[in-house]
Chains A and B, each alone.
Chain A
Amino acid sequence: MKKVIMGNHALSYGAMISRSQVIAAYPITPQTQVVELLSEMCASKTLDAKFIKVESEHSAMAACIAASIAGARTFTATSAQGLTLMHELLHWASGGRLPVVMGNINRAMAPGWSIWTDQNDSLSQRDTGWIQFYCASNQEVLDTVIQAFKVSERLLIPSMVILDAFALSHTYEVVDIPDQEKVDAYLPPFHPVVRLTPSEPHAFGGLTSPEHYFEFRYKLQVDMEKAPALIEETGREYEKIFGRHLGLVEDYECDDADLILITSGTAGYTARVAVDQLRQEGVKAGNLRIKVFRPFPFEKVRQIAGKAKKVAVVDRNISYGHHGIFYQEVKSALYGFDHNPPIFGFITGLGGRDITPETFKEIAHLTMARDKAEEEISWIGVKR
């Protein structure tokens, strides 16, 4: 069934069609609309789930962790300050190997208070052991929620499905909501390997001495390393049933590209417009959109970006004292490999300042004019 819906509601429908059983959330704009619709679905029994109102995002994730330990398919959503308030509990979910799926709407961190998009909220959760998917359309948001449950429940690692504030969260697009029977066939009910029940009590996450701790972290990494292949496999399976491919990355006009613009989130689709215009001007440009940030798709980035003559990484985020976060990651992926093109780092669009095709064209021209990056960061669009 096709519906015209906003990105927030694409998350809600994704959670509904995946048959989430427990939803715990605290309202923070713009995710408020995600759980508003889910609470209505729970009240009208469109969705047979327990909706838990809590008093903070920290508690929301705590409730999700408890529900997941009890064996329920669990969903929540948040944004910016809410996500960062959850930070401690994000470690509890991944360390406890609980396949919670969470929507996060990328909003810039305060101060100053901002309701506009940038990626520093979710990227500062980089090392919490969560899988991170960055989406570029409302359809992709819905599809990715379904896939995220499948991947998370297979690996017992939680997932974040991330979308840009306003550019997706409040933008209405046509979204195909798949048939329930088909989703049920793709995503069977969650059968946890360990389940907390009154008849079999356990202590979870108790005191873990140096004798024991190390191996739990080793196992989390080993399973995280299985995620890229599983995301590709479940993405192909998704395409067979629903006709839409879900992968680690999406490449556009990259095969013969001299210059590859690496992006994430909605900026990827803006970059495609710029790629078409650049090609009309005679610049052989391409766009590589990184969809999965954790685990980082090293192989795909090497295969695709390694072929280009130059790579420009466009970050809507910054690691203060270092540089753009995707720029760091792309550099670490390409370092030491045979095909190692010069990589240029650009920061733009912080706090929701528009990223337009002109932005990408400026970036492309700056990159093509230089042999190598002369500075760690090139700021695009900053008034200075």
Chain B
Amino acid sequence: MKNKKKAEKIIFRSEKDVPLMPMSLGSMLFNKTGAWRNIRPVVDLSNCIQCGICWKFCPDVAISIENEFPVVDYDYCKGCGICAEECPSKCIAMVEEER
């Protein structure tokens, strides 16, 4: 992934370190919500028409466009299936996770 921030935990040692309001605490760098997923989107790139609709619709901003093709960030994709539903060329399959 491009521009992915290097994870660094914010620790308050005293109240002097604490900002006034909860702001950009970076907690989601560690809270990998992708673990909640039961089904995962798998993109068949050979049928992808590079429209970017999946990227636009993903409510978790878990799809990025790299070299004009979608890339799913499985650390944060919760498997909602909206991308598969909206894909006009039906090239995204929702596949059951095996654990």
Chain A residues at the B interface, C-beta cutoff of 8 Å: 95-97, 156, 193-194, 202-209, 211-213, 215-216, 218-219
Contacts and interface: CB of A to CB of B under 8 A. Distances in A.
B51 interface: no
Interface string B1-22: 0000000001110010011111
A97 B20 contact: yes
Contacts of B24: 202-203, 206
A126 B24 CA distance: 29
B20 A206 contact: no
B23 A204 contact: yes
Q: Which 6 A-B pairs have the closest CB atoms?
A: A215-B18, A207-B27, A97-B21, A208-B22, A202-B24, A97-B20
B31 interface: yes
A206 B22 contact: yes
Interface string B62-77: 0000000000000000
A218 B12 contact: no
B20 A212 contact: no
Contact-residue bracket for chain B: 10 to 19
A292 to B, nearest CB: 22
Given A207-B28, A207-B31, A202 B15 contact: no
Given A215-B18, A216-B18, A219-B18, A203 B23 contact: yes
B20 A194 contact: yes
Given A212-B12, A219-B15, A96 B27 contact: no
- Give the dominant DSSP class at A's interface: loop
B12 A211 contact: yes
Given A212-B10, A219-B15, A95 B27 contact: no
B42 interface: no
A96 B19 CA distance: 11
A273 to B, nearest CB: 45
B12 A206 contact: no
Nearest to A209: B27
B82 interface: no
Q: Which of B12, B25, B28 has the most CB of A within 10 A?
A: B25
Contacts of A211: 11-12
B27 A193 contact: no
A96 B22 CA distance: 7
Contacts of B10: 212
Contacts of B15: 215, 218-219
B12 to A, nearest CB: 6
Contacts of B31: 207
Contacts of B19: 194
B27 A205 contact: no
Contact of B22 (A156, A204, A218): A204
Nearest to B14: A215
A71 to B, nearest CB: 14
Given A95-B21, A204-B22, 17 more contacts: A156-B20, A194-B19, A194-B21, A203-B25, A204-B23, A205-B22, A205-B23, A206-B27, A206-B28, A207-B31, A208-B25, A208-B27, A211-B12, A212-B12, A212-B18, A212-B25, A216-B21
Contacts of A212: 10, 12, 18, 22, 25, 27
Interface string B27-54: 1100100000000000000000000000
A29 B18 CA distance: 41
13 contacts: A95-B21, A96-B21, A96-B22, A97-B21, A156-B20, A193-B20, A205-B23, A206-B25, A207-B25, A207-B27, A212-B18, A212-B22, A215-B18
Contacts of A95: 21-22
B11 A216 contact: no
